[in-house]
C-alpha cells in the first residue's frame, strides 16, 4: 500500500477527527516541560493524533505523552500567553501551523462542545 502525503488541510482534518474519536492527543514531554517549536513568529506546541508519530519526532531524553481533551483545554488556558499556536503532526518533512484560537474553536466544533442555538 502506498503512503499518500496529506495536504496541510487533510493533515489538520485528520488530527481533529482522531482527537474526536480517541478523546486524546499526543505531545512530547522532556525534563524542561512540553517541547515547543520556536520560529521567528513565535512558539508552537506540536500535537499528534497517535503515539507512534510523536515518538518518531522525539529527540533523546524526550517522550510522547497522551493528553486527554479536558486536560488539553485546561492546559491551553494556562499556556495562552506562551504559545502562538500549534504545529499539527510535524514530521522532519514539514509541519502545519495553526493559530491557538483556531484549533481550539475547531476542536470544540468537532467535539460538539459549542451551543450555537439559544436556549428556550
What domains appear along the chain, each with residue ranges and CATH number?
A: 8-110 (3.40.1350.90)
**According to the model, what pLDDT value does residue 120 have?**
47
Q: What is residue 2's predicted lDDT score, i.e. its pLDDT?
A: 43
pLDDT score for 94: 80
pLDDT in tens, 3-34: 567 888 998 999 999 999 999 999 999 998 89
Burial (CB < 10 A; 0-12, 13-18, 19+), residue 21, is exposed
Q: What is the mean pLDDT of residues 41-48?
A: 90
Amino acid at each position: 500500500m502506498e503512503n499518500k502525503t496529506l495536504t496541510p488541510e487533510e493533515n489538520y482534518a485528520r488530527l481533529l477527527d482522531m482527537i474526536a474519536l480517541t478523546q486524546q492527543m499526543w505531545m512530547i514531554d522532556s525534563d524542561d516541560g512540553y517541547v515547543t517549536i520556536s520560529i521567528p513568529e513565535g512558539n508552537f506546541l506540536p500535537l499528534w493524533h497517535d503515539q507512534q508519530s510523536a515518538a518518531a519526532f522525539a529527540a533523546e531524553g524526550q517522550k510522547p505523552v497522551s493528553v486527554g481533551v479536558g486536560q488539553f483545554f485546561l492546559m491551553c488556558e494556562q499556556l495562552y500567553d506562551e504559545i502562538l499556536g500549534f504545529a499539527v503532526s510535524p514530521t522532519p518533512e514539514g509541519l502545519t501551523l495553526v493559530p491557538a484560537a483556531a484549533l481550539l474553536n475547531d476542536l470544540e466544533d468537532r467535539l460538539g462542545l459549542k451551543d450555537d442555538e439559544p436556549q428556550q
